[in-house]
Chains A and B, each alone.
Chain A
Amino acid sequence: MMGVFDVLLLVVLIAVAVGALHGRRLFSSVVLFIVFGLLMALVWLRLHAPDVALAEAVVGAGISGVLLLDALGRLGKGEDEGGDERAD
């Protein structure tokens, strides 16, 4: 069963990485990068390296996510998607 978990984890990880690299919206890429950090921490846990997973958690979820979002705010890169858009 853990084999299924590993395969699924890798597939989702690669999908998220490709989405973050080739997304058209900058903000989506930042969010996908935060998700990538979380999944990467799970990969380190599966490799029996909890210490590396700790570092990945702090850097990926904590520092780099906040820095990227802040940088996006300073760039003034508001998305062109409206605030009042009706969801489907």
Chain B
Amino acid sequence: MLADVLTLALVALGCWFFLSGTLGLLRFPDVYTRLHALTKADNLGLGLVAFGLLWQAPDWPTAVKLLLVWLLGVLASTTAAHMVGRAALGAGQSAWRAEP
């Protein structure tokens, strides 16, 4: 019972972060801000979904796999964020500034 409530709450929270990541990708004005929205909000959402589903895991190898998926996701998106950010800076893309 408690496990179900935990799953419900954590997965719903994860969905909220996924939605904010998508809205950030759509609404933010340049590459750097979009990187910021995507790589952080999205992986927090993935972590919350994985952590919520952890309570439904029937045995411990499944639970370890869930955590491993999240760890790999975080590792992948950190690498990707750094590479895209550095490449955008090297290509001379200017950062967005608020209109005066």
Contact = CB atoms under 8 A, between A and B. Distances in A.
B92 A84 contact: yes
B92 A83 contact: yes
A87 interface: yes
Contact of B91 (A83, A86, A87): A83
B56 interface: no
A86 B32 CA distance: 12
A86 B94 CA distance: 9
Contacts of A87: 29-30, 96
B93 interface: yes
Interface of B is mostly: loop
A83 B93 contact: yes
A44 B34 CA distance: 31
Interface in B48-69: none
Contacts of A83: 91-93
Interface string B86-97: 000001111010
A74 to B, nearest CB: 18
Contacts of A84: 92-94
Interface string A71-88: 000000000000110110
Nearest to A85: B93
Interface of B: 29-30, 91-94, 96
Given A86-B29, A87-B96, 5 more contacts: A83-B92, A83-B93, A84-B92, A86-B30, A87-B29
